Amino acid sequence: MFFSRRTLCALFVALVALLLLSVVVQVWVLPAAVERTVSLFPEVGPLAPQAILWGVCAVLCWQVIAVIGLELVRRALGNRADSSTRKWIGAVIGCLLVFAALVTVAFIALNERGYTPPGVMLGLVTGGLIALISAGALAVFLGSNPSLSMYSRK
């Protein structure tokens, strides 16, 4: 086994904690932050519903990745690598690409409406690049990992 059992259990607990924290962000923190922003800058009021929807969808992408991570950790704890491991990692790549698409749409929509503060644009570009780089790294990993390729031929 590549990781010790203790490390995998700690990773499992950390993923569950992050998943629960992300639900709190979706349900309470995100709407409150949008409401606070609208109260400070009333001109962004028309963007509030789209901001909440975008935020929930973006967090959902990361929640799906966390659930897939839980499944992969569970499989590692049971020493069960099989052909579906490639599919799970492929699903993570798909979620990262959906997140990058959401970032692109948000970037275009904000530019179209003329709301382009540097902090927001920098955050969008950085988040999108991190997602694309991560997806690329995972794709290279899938393409170059012979042990996963061995399982996929069964």
Q: Where are the domains of the chain?
A: 5-152
Q: Which residue has the tokens 């988040």?
A: 127
For residue 100, count CB atoms less than 10 angstroms from its CB and return exposed for 0-12, middle for 13-18, buried for 19 or more: buried
Q: How far apart are CA 33 and CA 7, in angstroms?
A: 35
pLDDT tens-place values along the chain, 154 residues long: 467 888 888 888 999 999 999 999 999 999 999 999 999 989 889 999 999 999 999 999 999 999 999 888 888 877 776 778 889 999 999 999 999 999 999 999 999 988 888 999 999 999 999 999 999 999 999 888 766 644 444 4
Distances from the Cα of 154 to the Cα of 3, 82, 84, 91, 107, angstroms: 25, 9, 11, 20, 43
Closest CA to 109 of 60, 47, 65: 47
3-state secondary structure at position 64? helix
DSSP annotation of 44 reads: G
Global pTM value: 0.84
What integer pLDDT is reported at residue 150 of this predicted model?
A: 44
What integer pLDDT is reported at residue 11 of this predicted model?
A: 87
What integer pLDDT is reported at residue 74 of this predicted model?
A: 84
What integer pLDDT is reported at residue 152 of this predicted model?
A: 44
What integer pLDDT is reported at residue 25 of this predicted model?
A: 92
Q: How far apart are CA 104 and CA 98, in angstroms?
A: 10
Distances from the Cα of 21 to the Cα of 18, 34, 62, 106, angstroms: 5, 18, 11, 24
The whole-angstrom distance between residue 87's C-alpha and the CA centroid of its chain comes to: 17
